[in-house]
Structure 1
């Protein structure tokens, strides 16, 4: 690709950073405030505000957004109406005389990948604005841009289809739970029920102040973003060179442990798999090591509507959400017969194997798409 055919992305569009909203600006009425978590997780509830912002900070459906801090990504606002742009997100206003919007979106995704070498912050990553906007991309004539964008859109649609299939499999676990154990909203009345503390043989929270132990590779350091609702995600993983201390031994996970988030987004759960290797948790997670309960059943119950309702009810902190050990031990847990719990475990295991197959297929599609994207922006497509 000749430099004559390239341009810095900062010359192709205007990048408007969002506004900082104070808690006093939040409310139950007004326009949606678009935060990074609303882009990365569509089911996240929106804060709203009646605050008036300039037109440049009012996001219209179809606008391109770039989150440049913490969770990095390029998104298209899918809201039904205008939203208010929060800080740490760029609203992208393309120069339509020079660049086609869909083409620019693909170019921005590639630019973010290139910028990964220059990320700042071990725990809170963010993109340097100047470096990002100076990143050059291939800019052919508009008709050629439209042709390339159509090819990339079609390839991306295949990935989206595979992701939807995975999402449906994720939802299947809760469907199996309901079929085997009953409506999660009334499950406490169906089975013998005890406090969670009676089922636990070990309960602890993770380590604080391990920043000095971060490493490029080594042992896994599980954080809250690695634990979803009844799912362990290792695609955004941190590594540590763990010290040989009693604290490290205490916070090291074992296969079959149930992990639960105890600060911020409370009640996320996941079961530690057999092949986890050496891994530790940070202070935002707790380890629930059970006796009498099948771990996968416990995780699914805590992720169910009744489990989540109890977790929310135990949060008595107005400013910063949090659970202590007494809160965890006090949660009510139904105890279906062990054979039924084991049957549930087997059913979910079959779903997990199917998810692995779909996940492997998605990885191949991602690799093919990345190769296609690189070729496109080298002028070789």
Structure 2
């Protein structure tokens, strides 16, 4: 694939304004190095551009229309609109950001220089393929954004339910009895923090949790370091399902994070920076209620007020101070009722998180193949042109998200007797995959090798218009592979497909084909 230096095919400028030049009710977007654009009343650009933060967060955005920019924001504009798609460039820069972050220089605040951008080499496939790549990645990114939005909505739902049932825990307008934390506890346990390996533990190894395992108030078992084999694990410090963990030391914003352990893998140990609460049997408290109580904004701020530390050190909350916290304790029946709601919502969040992980993996695989020229786009039609309703509107998007995304269907795939989003049900998912497999066979020429990897790639792309927020991409569920295996065997039985030994090499003198020891699929002579 042809490569071109970014500085040769684009014009790269920076804005002229100071970061505080924006106004809250401005008419135009004002792009700084922050993830979300500000607003401003004057514009300096009226163009289609990719905007790259020059320091700090080092993010990338796309915009078309009138806007202004901070003096450390790079504005990348097209020199030749017939040979470079700016949306394609946006998606390339998005994947290139990891490289730019490694190249960034500076101390506390990292920054990139103009040369880091002008010397960057960008692969340039044919212009129409650039459009196709941008469209496909935009579709997947749109689904990722929807899943993140739904996860946030579920978090907001739990916060609303908590306030509806219990009110603000600090103001205690519902008049619940308050008890010192010490009345509820048998003990506050903590672990040890030996010097560990600079990598996560394998499933067979012992590991020690890092602060990141609870920082987001959701337990993350992946945030750990492997315990050296020379150090014997302290078994009593092993984390178990049902534990309630609490960070006693961190920055003022992050200290007092609390996470409930729904499921724990074996051989993970608490460090000395994380507490574990052990409740009295007769305390009449549900740990899930206490979890959501301690992570409530007003209650957490009250707990964070206990943090103290010498200058230059991270704030620390002592066990003694923490035990004095006054906590509202409703009836155990009401706590249990709330906990049941939490468990249902958390189960739904778990599905969304798995789907999000699947989609992010799909996005990573597609972008890697696209920018290496390994993606077969010959069958993908160009998306229909769409006109933005208002180019000056600033959509509510995350950093590194495209503002405009065309909507189209993949033709000639036609569905019959299925819902709008058939992948949301097991029956619809199998029916859609079956139609795709049938069409895939029909598109093959007779007596040619059949590569099922090509089918899965095709299914990934063609399914995007039929996915909803609950749908996992094709190939992520065992059901998908079992279905395709069944159809392959059926096609072999009816001789639509044949199993043959692969051709290994040909003897030039005799023109004899020597077969290898691998079995491959070939289409039959009659399809």
TM bucket normalised to smaller: 0.5 to 0.7
Deviation for aligned residue 1:267 = 2.2
Q: Give 1:345-356 correspondences, 5 Å limit.
A: 345-356=339-350
**Is the Cα contact below 8 Å between 1:258 and 1:295 reproduced in 2?**
yes
Distance verdict in 2 for CA 1:10–1:244, change over 3 Å: farther
Map Cα deviations across residues 173-223 of structure 1 (whole Å, 9 max, x no partner).
22222222223342376222122233233324454452x433453245433
| Equivalent residue in structure 1 for 2:245, among 235, 248, 259 | 259
Deviation for aligned residue 1:252 = 3.2
Deviation for aligned residue 1:337 = 1.9
1:270 alignment partner in structure 2? 259
* Count of aligned positions: 332
Distance in 1 of aligned mates of 2:172 and 2:224:
37
Map Cα deviations across residues 10-48 of structure 1 (whole Å, 9 max, x no partner).
8778999xxxxxxxxxxxx8889x999x75xx8xxxxxx
1:340 alignment partner in structure 2? 334
Map Cα deviations across residues 218-266 of structure 1 (whole Å, 9 max, x no partner).
245433333245322456x343135676884464323222222331112
| Equivalent residue in structure 2 for 1:149, among 118, 134, 137 | 134
Distance verdict in 2 for CA 1:347–1:227, change over 3 Å: same
Distance in 1 of aligned mates of 2:359 and 2:59:
18
Q: Which runs of 5+ in 1 are unaligned?
A: 17-28, 43-60, 86-90
Distance in 2 of aligned mates of 1:250 and 1:14:
61
Higher RCO (C-alpha under 8 Å, 6+ residues apart):
1
* Alignment pair present for 1:323 and 2:316: yes
Distance verdict in 2 for CA 1:128–1:62, change over 3 Å: closer
2:79 alignment partner in structure 1? 97
* Alignment pair present for 1:296 and 2:288: yes
> SS where residue 213 of structure 1 aligns?
coil
> How high is the TM-score relative to the length of structure 1?
0.68
**Is the Cα contact below 8 Å between 2:245 and 2:258 reproduced in 1?**
yes
Distance in 1 of aligned mates of 2:237 and 2:100:
34
> SS where residue 242 of structure 2 aligns?
coil
> How high is the TM-score relative to the length of structure 2?
0.51
1:369 alignment partner in structure 2? 363
Q: Which runs of 5+ in 2 are unaligned?
A: 14-19, 24-30, 37-48, 378-527
Q: Which has the larger radius of gyration?
A: 2
More helix by share: 1
Q: Give 1:87-236 correspondences, 5 Å limit.
A: 92-94=74-76, 96-97=78-79, 100-111=85-96, 136-140=121-125, 144-187=129-172, 190-205=175-190, 207-208=192-193, 210=195, 212-218=196-202, 219-234=206-221
Distance in 2 of aligned mates of 1:312 and 1:239:
27
Distance in 2 of aligned mates of 1:260 and 1:83:
40
**Is the Cα contact below 8 Å between 1:100 and 1:142 reproduced in 2?**
yes
Q: Give 1:6-155 correspondences, 5 Å limit.
A: 6-7=3-4, 39=35, 63-65=51-53, 74-76=59-61, 92-94=74-76, 96-97=78-79, 100-111=85-96, 136-140=121-125, 144-155=129-140
